[in-house]
A = this chain, B = another copy of it.
Amino acid sequence: MPTPHYGQPRYRVIADELRERIQSGAIPLGALLPPESALTTEFRASRGTIRQAIAVLREERVVNTEQGRGTYANPRWHDSALDKNSGSETRRRRVAADRELAALFAVEVGSLLVEEQTVARTNGAVRTVARTYHLLRTNK
Contact = CB atoms under 8 A, between A and B. Distances in A.
Contacts of A56: none
A70 interface: no
B104 A119 contact: yes
A132 interface: yes
A131 B119 CA distance: 12
Interface class of chain A by DSSP? mixed
Q: How many copies of the shown chain assemble into the complex?
A: 2
Interface stretch (A2-10, A38-46, A71-79): A38-46
The interface size bin for chain A is 35 or more
A101 interface: yes
Interface of A: 24-27, 34, 37-38, 41-42, 44, 55, 67, 86-88, 101, 104-106, 118-120, 122-123, 125-134, 139-140
